[in-house]
Structure 1
Amino acid sequence: MHVLRAIDPTGEPPHDRLDPATIEAPAQDRLAPVRDTPLPITGPHPPLLAVLGAHGGAGASTLARWWAHAADTGLAWPGSPRSTQLVVLAARDCIPGLTAAADRLREWHASLTPDGVTIVALVLVAARPGRVPAPVRRFRRTVTELLDEDAVFSIAWHEELIVRELTDLARYTPADPPPPRRAHLTAAVPPDVHRAGAAITARIAASRVTTPTTGRNR
């Protein structure tokens, strides 16, 4: 399964999704809300990515702050076609976080998300410092099978976040070189945040294949 392939115009299930008939959708009361208004423009350009928290405390606001070309869509799907509907799903790397991420992924695969929404990546943010417990690692393998393995990224625990406001954090743009390995979060984004942002941006760029017959991107 490849996350960023174009939708098949014949009416078959999109190549970036599983067949909806094979997916058990979340219960109605577990579906995410929809944001009908466009995402805000907080930088010089409209956002390329919408960071969606699979649950409260997933780290979506922090990721959206770190990546200058991203916007925070909270817990709601970005439903307006007037701004990006390319979604980076964020969740804590723990059993409750992975369960919420699975709900959002199954919701998308079951075609219960707004038209135009595409999940381009899943970012799992450490729930605590130290090693991830074995039950969490096992459950993570099950959940991440719902996406291409190259579309799953991990962000480590960054202790300095405890004492920083979001507005204090440095930002990453796609033209930035890799940051120093040891720098305060006010001076540079962490290396793992840089790597994930660069890889996700590259995946989006690679997916924008020009159609020979129409000359339009799809």
Structure 2
Amino acid sequence: MTDHDNTVDAAPMPAAPMSADVVSWQPPRYWRCDTLTSGHELPPLFALVGAAGGVGTTTLARMWGPAADSETRWPAHPETTQWCVLVARLSMAGIDDAAARLRDDVRPEGLDVFGIVWTPPRPGRIPKEVHRYASTVGELVDHCWRVAWIEDLMLARRDALAPWLPGSLPDSKHTDLAAGPPLAVCTTGADIVDTVTHRYRRTT
């Protein structure tokens, strides 16, 4: 045998153990990690995030062309818009939901939740106590909008709703949802788009 034959190969060094935090980390269940789309052949300018289920994010995203429906999860994909509007019912329970999401959730880095859209729980007058509470929670964000009850939505199917697109507003007497949302919904969408545009300009 040669000297080489008498050598013993050193055992490979074991790999350094990975940190338990690295192995176990998963995005929170209320993060959405897929890419969002607007559904209207437009890149989504902002995302609608529900404070809870059933608050109207899907219908609003259908009516606002530049919006994406993120359901009840914060958008976390790097190619998805980081501009978010929280959507909540204008009721005591709905405002509680909004407050909890804004105060307690861990949100993806860089996410900008710049406003709340309050949607009506029913037609008719909203008690003043609810408005006062909404005003208090609304101070957690920079902007708040209200969407009125739209009776015609009761008979409308989502795939029959035509979207509002920036640069256009319907006549004040317009009521055909198949041709576009009511004027008040369009003006709210336009105000959100303007808000996002101004915030973007301040960060660039």
1:121-146 Cα shifts (integer Å, max 9, x gaps): 21001111111012212211211111
Does the Cα contact within 8 Å between 1:50 and 1:72 map onto a contact in 2? yes
What amino acid maps onto 1:102 in structure 2?
Answer: A
2-structure distance, mates of 1:203, 1:41 = 18
What amino acid maps onto 2:32 in structure 1?
Answer: R
5 Å matches for 1:118-129? 118-129=112-123
Partner of 1:13: none
5 Å matches for 1:84-163? 84-107=81-104, 112-148=106-142, 151-163=143-155
Partner of 2:193: 201
The answer to whether 1:80 aligns with 2:72 is no
What amino acid maps onto 2:117 in structure 1?
Answer: V
**Aligned residue among 49, 52, 55 for 1:52:** 49
In the alignment, structure 1 segments of 5+ residues that lack a partner are 1-30, 211-216
SS in 1 for 2:201: coil
TM-score normalized by the length of structure 2: 0.80
What amino acid maps onto 1:59 in structure 2?
Answer: G
Amino-acid identity (%) = 36
The answer to whether 1:170 aligns with 2:167 is no
SS in 1 for 2:131: helix
Following TM superposition, by how much is the alpha carbon of 1:41 offset from its aligned partner in structure 2, in angstroms?
A: 5.0
Between structure 1 and structure 2, the one with the greater Rg is 2
Does the Cα contact within 8 Å between 2:35 and 2:80 map onto a contact in 1? yes
SS in 2 for 1:203: helix
* Alignment coverage as a number of residue pairs: 177
Following TM superposition, by how much is the alpha carbon of 1:99 offset from its aligned partner in structure 2, in angstroms?
A: 0.7
In the alignment, structure 2 segments of 5+ residues that lack a partner are 1-27
Q: How large is the RMSD of aligned CA atoms in angstroms?
A: 1.8
1:95-143 Cα shifts (integer Å, max 9, x gaps): 11111111122246xxx20012111221001111111012212211211
Does the Cα contact within 8 Å between 2:88 and 2:119 map onto a contact in 1? yes
1-structure distance, mates of 2:86, 2:98 = 7
What amino acid maps onto 2:64 in structure 1?
Answer: W
The answer to whether 1:35 aligns with 2:35 is no
Partner of 2:19: none
1-structure distance, mates of 2:133, 2:29 = 22
What amino acid maps onto 2:201 in structure 1?
Answer: V
Partner of 1:5: none
What amino acid maps onto 1:53 in structure 2?
Answer: G
2-structure distance, mates of 1:120, 1:63 = 17
1-structure distance, mates of 2:85, 2:129 = 25
SS in 2 for 1:68: coil
Provide closer, same or farther for how the CA distance between residues 193 and 32 of structure 1 changes in structure 2, counting only shifts above 3 A.
Answer: farther
2-structure distance, mates of 1:174, 1:33 = 30
1-structure distance, mates of 2:175, 2:53 = 28
